[in-house]
Structure formats: C-alpha cells, structure tokens
A and B are shown apart, each in its own frame.
Chain A
C-alpha cells in the first residue's frame, strides 16, 4: 500500500508491538504528529520538555525490558534529547529516538531549527541514521529496533528529513521475524562480521571457569548491570548458591541478585560496603558478570582484586580488558553463560571465607535526630509501607546511593537509576516512563532537592496523565554529594553548593494539582506515604535530612578499594 513517510514510521512502530511513545512535537515532525491522530493504538505521552521525554522512554525501557520510543523535532528538540540519549547509552538501555530534520533542500544551509543531530549523537548512540529516501525508511526503522535491542542494548537515533515524512512509497507490513530477510538487515546478516543472534557460549571457556571455581578457596562474585539487562536473576542466584560465594552488587546490578539473599554484601566500589570491598580485596577468585569495572567500582585498576584471578563475563567483547586486565573471560549473554555454568558446577562450600567477609559491616548506621530523618529511616519506612515490588526511580547524588544501599531490590528493573552518566534530573521522567510501563506497580521517585529542581516541570506530565507517582525529596538544602566532597576533600569550602532557595516543594506540588507534605519524623513519613498510596494521584513528600549527613562508606577517587575515607 502507498503510505507517507510519516505513516511508515508509525506502521513500523506497530510492527514492533509498540504502544507507547514519549515525545514533543515541533515544525519538522508535524507530518508524523498529524499521522498519529489516525493511530489511536499508539499512546503518545506529551512531556513538559524533550529531556523529560527521553528519560521517560529510557525508564520505560529499563523497567519493562522492551524498547522505549521517543519523538522530538529538529534543532533544539533534538539537542534537548542528548542528555537522555547519553544516559541511555552509558547504562545500555534500548531506546529508539525518532527526530525529524529540515527538508533536504535546506540541509547544510543553517536553516531554522536545523542541527546535525546525527553528527552530535555519534558518540552517544549505538548507531544512528539520517533518512533522506522514503523507500529506505521502513528498512532503517526495522534495523534501528534490531540494533537497539540486540546484544548489549543501547539507544539508536533515526533522523528523518521533513520531505521524507511527506513523500510516499509502497509499504507492506512485515512481522519482526521476517525483518532479517529483507532490506538493510538482510545485507548485514549476509556478512560474516555481525550477528543479531545471541553469541553461542564457548564450552571450553565455561569448563575453564568451572575448574577455576573448583580450585578457589575464597571466591567472590560481582553482579553487574548485564545481569539486569539479561534478566538473569534466577540463573545468577543459583550460581551464587552453587559457588557459595559472597555477592557484591554494583549500582546498575541492583535487582540482578536479591538484596535480601544472605549471600549479598551490598554495594561495591566508591560507596561499597566494607564487606564488599574487603571481600574483593581479599578474594582469590573474582567473577564479575556484566560489569565494565568503571572508575566507581575499580577505583584503582592496578590494585583492584590484586590477590585474585579475575574472570569477566560480558556480552560485549570490547569490554574485556578495557578497564581492568582479567585472567579469563567468557563472551555471552549472562543468562546463557550462567545456565551453562550451573549445569556443570558441583555445590561448593566456603564457610570460613564467608565468615571472614561477613565479619565486616554490610550496612551503614546513622546518628538519629528528632528534627530530621536519617537516610536509612526513609528507605526502611518506604520499604515497610509500600508494596514489596515497588519500582524505585532515582535522580543522582547522595539520595541515589543511600536508596541503593538501604533498599533491598528483588528483581531486575526495580531500581531505575542513572549509574553511568549520573544524570541529575533523570528520576522524574524515568518514574513517569516506569509507571506508564507498569501501571499496576507502585512507583516511588527518590530525589534530592538539587536534582528535583532540575526537571520538576515533569510534574505537569505526571498530573495530566494522572500517574500516581510518589516523589520523596531528601531535602538537606544543599547539593549534598558535592558538599560531601567539599567537606572531606576541599577543606569545607562550600563553593556554590548551598541551595537555600525556592521553591517550597509542597506548594510546587499544589501548583501542579498534586498533593504534598513536609515531614521530619518517621511517623509523619509513614502517614504521608499511606496518604500518597491512597490518594490516587501524584504526591510529593519533602523529607528533612541533616545537611552534613554523608554517604558512607566512601573511598576517594582513584584510591585502593579498602582505603575508606569515611566508614
């Protein structure tokens, strides 16, 4: 059938079973938005700002495991996406961004709202496309989805010239299973160099690791974001039980291993627990699944796990030996590799070693006060009042680490947080995406007063679409994490980190048609949470915390992992 480019874009979304789009219209993407009127099955969520839409699509993808979709117009519309694209890229989240650009006859002439968005997003997308030929559009859209979701997932951007959205060509719907036999994907498949199927796990590599495990006396495991993306929680839990090893969890790995499992030592790295970091430093075999040893984990790559043989399991071969030189690696999807390992492993026992690791604290204690709440009190209260499967979306800073340390995550996609890129302002958009993707689950957005101020305009989106998201602001009236560094490393010279300024978050919630309340005690927080759960719309809880409360433990940048500055 003869369709316009705009219609083909939407038909291609249907092919992928997409029913949710986050976005913001504008001049060049008008044709697509016009066509959208005739596609009532594609639910479009209009955000307050393109950045909010990008984070919402990302949060949707992370929490559902499906590919997120985000629309924006040319120029500022597309550049407003860039922070969201980079956020998705650094955390390997599958999102397809569709932007439209000026017509081909205007390209390169600095036309109104023209920008080279494919050039700009080259380093932050898995791949991107500029479509100037309507007959290629369907093929490109199909490839974009395949690239976004395959292997190590990631964001893909499709930029379409405006004239293409208005031009017509023949289009036939094609089920996803047949995409690989036609057009661009067929060409890629014909080459020997790339594969859209999961890599077959090498048996010799698996056997080698099995032998290493048998020979180890002090094994330690690290659960990374790859376990979450691969939804390999069951395989990982069985693996940990068989190896009988303590499990440290990275920020991105939260939910990949049940936080309540007695084998877990909690977070690892800069704000890792003493048990995790001491375990890594003393183990003789370190098995890391789906983790790139970032500078927040292997703070000093030279001394990281210096007594251990290090084994890296990752789907992305370019991650092997990138940050830390490893002794052995297995390439593959975490789920497949762990299943193969589990088949070949005899149960091991390491009581003495576990006793050593767990002799160090797994959680941090705080001094209580009558005027403010401690980070642990807030997490514990949320965990007590809200359903156990509550999705937690965070911004970036102290609150992010606290809620990662003290909240126990049960399944992949339960913690939605910007780990790699550290995007303040990520949380509310991501919470909106998570709630849209998981309407039956309670979604709590944890933020700080600094992060919340960045993108709180998305309260309008939350309000309009009646999304009952609970926002909990850890309010210390300072930019807490930066202040913490100033406190510990910059001789208490608090340069530009005091946030004693508007708005009043309770009044702000009211202005957006939501409820809000300021709380200073556990009892008040409990009551506010109960109200929030019952009210059926968005609710902002402004929690008072101490301005000099710190994230502990802390290991400074680049130091040995056991060089705790504060415990």
Chain B
C-alpha cells in the first residue's frame, strides 16, 4: 500500500437522522485504526438528514477504501472527500481564561480584538472568548492566551463546505464519484 501520502482529510457525509447511524459511521474508522481528529454532526436544511464532517489522518488509498465502505451503509446518502483547495473549513472554539487582575483582563481583550474573537462571558476572575476559524488561527490565539492560564477550552470540531457552485448533493456530482451511477448494496 502506498503510505507516502499521509495527511489530514476532511470528509462530508450525509446520513439519515436516525439513532445508531453515527456509531456505525465512526465504527468504520476505528476498525481501520484511524483516530478521528475531528467530528461535527448536525441536521441540514432537511430535518431528516444529518451532515457529519469527519477529519482523519490517512493515505489516499486508505481513505478511498473507507469512503467506499461508508457508501455501502444504507443510511448514508452521500460521502464526499473534500479537496483542500476547493473547500472552506471552520470551527468554533470557546476559551475560558483566568484573569486575576484587570490588567490581565485588558491584555486578553486586546488579543481577542486582534483575532476578532468575541467576548461572550466575563466574571471577576475569568473571561470567555469565542472564535471561529481554521486551525492556524485558533491555534495562534490559544498559544497567545495560554500564558495567562487557560481554564477550559472546547472545540466544536471542523465543519466544511465546498467553494463555488459545487454541493454534496447528487445532481452536482461527477461520474467519478459514483463509479456506476449509484451504490449497490
């Protein structure tokens, strides 16, 4: 197997919004020995359909196999391996920072302003920031505020969408994505 092309991959998966589907999807990754780096799930404009964004570190070959196996699952409508250059990825990070003095609090707010992070909660000794972005941006602010003492940090997981007119839906798919039109069970 070609192992030279290991990198982080983003997958968008459309599934039936039903119990058990998420565990079936995530099981396929764990069975192949992939740790899921990031996972985000939510309903789409159709309440019966959920969209899962999964990020894993894998080779070209292996990720293609996982995609094919995902496509075989009955509640999976569509699987799309997102092209890095052709898609936009974002996650929301909430950071609670310790601010024992007003001076520290002001410095944290300064950093937040530079990154266009929102201040969403303040107490006498803490401040909570919210930031939307890619890893490069979120990691940078995390590094900067860590010197003040991060009390808690939570990420939503990456969500991603393609640029331009392309969508995950079938009518905009190219033939190569569905080798023979449709999946056969």
Which one of B27, B171, B178, B182 contacts A123 once the chains associate, using CB atoms below 8 Å?
Answer: B27
Contact B184 A317 (CB under 8 A): yes
Once the chains are docked, how many angstroms separate the CA of A151 from the CA of B180? 13
Q: Mark B172-185, 1 if CB is under 8 A from A, else 0.
A: 01000011111111
Contact B184 A199 (CB under 8 A): yes
Contact B77 A315 (CB under 8 A): no
Contact B72 A193 (CB under 8 A): no
Q: Is B12 an interface residue (CB 8 A)?
A: no
Q: Is A126 an interface residue (CB 8 A)?
A: yes
Which one of A152, A200, A321 contacts B180 once the chains associate, using CB atoms below 8 Å?
Answer: A200
Contact A318 B65 (CB under 8 A): yes
**Which A residues lie within 8 Å of B27 (CB)?**
122-123
Contact A196 B20 (CB under 8 A): no
Once the chains are docked, how many angstroms separate the CA of A125 from the CA of B95? 42
Q: Is B31 an interface residue (CB 8 A)?
A: yes
Once the chains are docked, how many angstroms separate the CA of A317 from the CA of B76? 15
Chain B nearest CB: distance from A129 CB in Å?
A: 9
**Which B residues lie within 8 Å of A194 (CB)?**
74, 182-185
Once the chains are docked, how many angstroms separate the CA of A179 from the CA of B113? 59
Contact B185 A150 (CB under 8 A): yes
Q: Mark A331-344, 1 if CB is under 8 A from B, else 0.
A: 11000000000000
**Which B residues lie within 8 Å of A119 (CB)?**
20, 23
Q: Which residue of A lies closest to B64 (CB)?
A: A321
Chain A nearest CB: distance from B66 CB in Å?
A: 9
**Which A residues lie within 8 Å of B53 (CB)?**
none
Q: Which of B26-78 contact A (CB under 8 A)?
A: 27, 31, 61, 64-65, 68-69, 71-74, 76-78
Chain B nearest CB: distance from A124 CB in Å?
A: 11
Once the chains are docked, how many angstroms separate the CA of A209 from the CA of B170? 29
Q: Which residue of A lies closest to B61 (CB)?
A: A321
Extra pairs beyond A130-B20, A316-B72, A332-B180 (12, CB < 8 Å): A191-B77, A192-B170, A192-B173, A193-B76, A193-B77, A193-B178, A202-B180, A315-B184, A317-B68, A318-B72, A321-B61, A321-B64
Chain A nearest CB: distance from B73 CB in Å?
A: 8
Q: Which residues of B contact A (CB under 8 A)?
A: 1, 19-20, 23-24, 27, 31, 61, 64-65, 68-69, 71-74, 76-78, 170-171, 173, 178-185
**Which B residues lie within 8 Å of A316 (CB)?**
72, 184
Q: Is A39 an interface residue (CB 8 A)?
A: no
Q: Which of A311-360 contact B (CB under 8 A)?
A: 315-318, 320-322, 325, 331-332
Asked if A317 meets B23 with Cβ closer than 8 Å, knowing A127-B74, A147-B185, the reply is: no
Contact A199 B74 (CB under 8 A): no
Q: Which residue of B lies closest to A128 (CB)?
A: B20
Which one of A195, A321, A325 contacts B184 once the chains associate, using CB atoms below 8 Å?
Answer: A195
Chain A nearest CB: distance from B8 CB in Å?
A: 22
Chain B nearest CB: distance from A544 CB in Å?
A: 44
Q: Is A198 an interface residue (CB 8 A)?
A: yes
Q: Which of A514-552 contact B (CB under 8 A)?
A: none
Contact B78 A193 (CB under 8 A): yes
Chain A nearest CB: distance from B169 CB in Å?
A: 8
Q: How many A-B residue pairs have CB under 8 A?
A: 84
**Which B residues lie within 8 Å of A123 (CB)?**
27, 31
Which of A192, A316, A322 gathers most chain B CB within 10 Å? A192
**Which B residues lie within 8 Å of A193 (CB)?**
71, 76-78, 170, 178, 182-183
Q: Which residue of A lies closest to B169 (CB)?
A: A192
Once the chains are docked, how many angstroms separate the CA of A193 from the CA of B180? 11
Once the chains are docked, how many angstroms separate the CA of A315 from the CA of B68? 13
Once the chains are docked, how many angstroms separate the CA of A122 from the CA of B72? 13
Which one of B20, B76, B78 contacts A118 once the chains associate, using CB atoms below 8 Å?
Answer: B20
Which one of B76, B77, B173, B184 contacts A151 once the chains associate, using CB atoms below 8 Å?
Answer: B184
Q: Which residue of A lies closest to B75 (CB)?
A: A127
Q: Is A188 an interface residue (CB 8 A)?
A: yes
Once the chains are docked, how many angstroms separate the CA of A151 from the CA of B68? 15
Asked if A199 meets B182 with Cβ closer than 8 Å, knowing A193-B170, A318-B65, A321-B61, the reply is: yes
Once the chains are docked, how many angstroms separate the CA of A322 from the CA of B72? 14
Which one of A126, A147, A322, A331 contacts B65 once the chains associate, using CB atoms below 8 Å?
Answer: A322
Contact A195 B183 (CB under 8 A): yes
Q: Which residue of B lies closest to A129 (CB)?
A: B20
**Which B residues lie within 8 Å of A198 (CB)?**
184
Chain A nearest CB: distance from B180 CB in Å?
A: 5
Once the chains are docked, how many angstroms separate the CA of A130 from the CA of B21? 12
Q: Which residue of A lies closest to B31 (CB)?
A: A123
**Which B residues lie within 8 Å of A122 (CB)?**
20, 23-24, 27
Query: Can you list the 4 inter-chain pairs with the closest CB atoms, starting with the nearest?
Result: A192-B170, A318-B68, A195-B182, A151-B184
**Which B residues lie within 8 Å of A320 (CB)?**
68
Which of B27, B71, B183 gathers most chain A CB within 10 Å? B183
Chain A nearest CB: distance from B131 CB in Å?
A: 35
Q: Which residue of A lies closest to B182 (CB)?
A: A195
Chain A nearest CB: distance from B96 CB in Å?
A: 34
Chain A nearest CB: distance from B62 CB in Å?
A: 10
Contact A126 B77 (CB under 8 A): no
Asked if A331 meets B180 with Cβ closer than 8 Å, knowing A318-B68, A318-B72, A321-B61, the reply is: yes
Q: Which residue of A lies closest to B23 (CB)?
A: A122
Q: Which residue of A lies closest to B19 (CB)?
A: A130
**Which A residues lie within 8 Å of B19 (CB)?**
130
Chain B nearest CB: distance from A420 CB in Å?
A: 16
Once the chains are docked, how many angstroms separate the CA of A399 from the CA of B65? 35
Contact B23 A150 (CB under 8 A): no
Contact A196 B77 (CB under 8 A): no
Which of A127, A191, A325 gathers most chain B CB within 10 Å? A191
Q: Which residue of A lies closest to B185 (CB)?
A: A151
